Amino acid sequence: ELSHDIHDHPETGYEEHHAVATVADLLRRHGIEPEVGVYGMDTALRAEIPGAGSTDAAAGGSSESAGTIAILAEYDALPGIGHGCGHNVMCANSVGAFLALAALARTRPGALPGRVVLQTTPAEENSTAKEILAVRGMLDGVDAAIQTHSYAHDVTHQTWLGVRRLRVIFHGVPAHAASQPFMGRNALDAATLALTGIGLLRQQMLPMDRLHAIITDGGQVPNIIPERTELSIMVRSKYLETLKEIAERVEEVLHGAALMTGTGVEILTSEYCNEVPVRDNGPLLTSWVRSQRERGRDPLAAGVLPETIAAGTDFGNVSQRIPGIHPLIKVTDRPDIALHTPAMTEAAGAPTGDAAALDGAYGLAAVALDWLHDAELRRSVRADFEATGGVIDVAGFWEE
């Protein structure tokens, strides 16, 4: 019902007022009082199950012997096509898992030796809200984070690219394009050369790098040499190191275009607008696969599907700070259906989406229970996280 309700009321990022209210009402019906509008974000919600091992649960501490695991939830939609990324199913997975764990805690004292947090994270499609929430304290005291993603296949890990978003402004000198063009400095020429340079750079990129750009301001009228032009650019790569490298090369192209045209250039990026690649945790994925096989699914291992089918998510900004997983769950029986299409919107509200909502909820709850009850798993999770890079300073990554 939750999946269908959110599917029937699609809301874009930071406008998910119906969704957050629906989740809050559902939690209250189960005796859980959530906090809405957390970390200064109106459509972000947080709820907690203290855990039997907590000695400071009332103060929100994380002194449980089993630590704290967070279940993250998204519910924003795409403009025009609604839930073409299946966030309604993903929200149902997370909230369903949380409610199952809460019911277990009520009926079986001691069933949850650690704390469980439900944290909704708005605006995955049009922003990097998880980065904002993380900087503001969402992950303080949290030891691991889990959530799903809707897809056309059951997959443990599919490539998620990091992204650097650039807003680029070229400043020229206006002049009459007919009588005195030689007095001007053409900002549109700079933008054209920048796009040409980016296009030529593609031959020297790594296979999983991606560059895409548009002109958002190309001048006002053709008989005036454009004084100002603006580009919106997205730079993507599979790894942290290569993401930084390709972003630096793009900036060199932009400065070169300005130099060739005698214009000035501003390269602007918000401190919160960048996504880093997802780092899935091996032992947690093993737990997820076991849970899905119990539901009759058999998630594909990483590398089975073509790596070129890649996208981005701000869950990467979580997974580089603490151990986490972002497995994909099949919401359609048609493997040719792609994310961000009307066909995926339809699938996310169909019976196949309903099955994914239930199976994913079971899976996240099972992973959380494995984490809370298995000290060896927690040690393995931490060891895997450290072996694959440990804690990354995501907020300061671009300043290093």
Q: Which of 60-74, 166-180, 229-243, 272-286 bottoms out in mean pLDDT, i.e. has the lowest?
A: 60-74
The pTM assigned to this predicted structure is 0.92
Q: What is the pLDDT of residues 270-280, one digit of tens each?
A: 877 789 999 99
- Residue 267 CA to residue 282 CA, distance in Å, equals 38
Q: What is the distance in angstroms between the CA of the first residue and the CA of the last residue of the chain?
A: 47
Q: How confident is the model at residue 282 (pLDDT cuts 50, 70, 90)?
A: very high
> What's the average model confidence in pLDDT over 349-356?
98
Contacts by 198-207, CB closer than 8 A, 24 or more apart: 198/233, 198/250, 198/253, 201/249, 201/250, 201/253, 205/246, 206/237, 206/238, 206/242, 206/246, 207/308
Compute and round to an integer the Cα radius of gyration of the chain.
Answer: 23
Q: What percent of the chain is predicted at pLDDT more than 70?
A: 97
Q: What pLDDT is recorded for position 53?
A: 66
HEC sequence for the chain: CHHHHHHHCCCCCCCCHHHHHHHHHHHHHCCCCCEECHHHCCCCEEEEECCCCCCCHHHCCCCCCCCEEEEEECCCCECCCECCCCHHHHHHHHHHHHHHHHHHHHHCCCCCCCEEEEEECCCCCCCCHHHHHHHCCCCCCCCEEECCEEECCCECCCCECEEEEEEEEEECECCECCCCHHHCECHHHHHHHHHHHHHHHHHHCCCCCEEEEEEEECCCCCCECCCEEEEEEEEEECCHHHHHHHHHHHHHHHHHHHHHHCCEEEEECCCCCCECCCCCCHHHHHHHHHHHHHCCCCCECCCCCCCCCCECCCCHHHHCCCCEECCEEECCCCCCCCCCCHHHHHHHCCHHHHHHHHHHHHHHHHHHHHHHHCHHHHHHHHHHHHHCCCCCCCCCHHHC
Q: How confident is the model at residue 54 (pLDDT cuts 50, 70, 90)?
A: very low
Retrieve residue 353's tokens. 């989406």
Mean pLDDT of the chain: 95
Q: Is the pLDDT of residue 167 over 60?
A: yes
Q: Is the pLDDT of residue 57 over 50?
A: no
Q: What pLDDT is recorded for position 55?
A: 43
Phi, psi of 107 (to 5 degrees): -90, -20
> What's the average model confidence in pLDDT over 177-197?
97
Q: Is the pLDDT of residue 177 over 90?
A: yes
Q: How confident is the model at residue 2 (pLDDT cuts 50, 70, 90)?
A: very high
Q: Is the pLDDT of residue 60 over 80?
A: no
Residue pair 173/225 in contact by the 8 Å Cβ criterion: yes
Q: Is the pLDDT of residue 391 over 80?
A: yes
> What's the average model confidence in pLDDT over 104-129?
95
CA distances, 55 to each of 168, 282, 356, 379 (Å): 51, 30, 36, 22
Q: Is the pLDDT of residue 400 over 80?
A: no
Q: Which of 75-84, 229-238, 303-312 bottoms out in mean pLDDT, i.e. has the lowest?
A: 303-312
> What's the average model confidence in pLDDT over 38-55?
88
Q: Which residues pair with 173 in a beta bridge?
A: 185
> What's the average model confidence in pLDDT over 266-272?
88
Q: What pLDDT is recorded for position 272?
A: 79
Q: What pLDDT is recorded for position 273?
A: 79
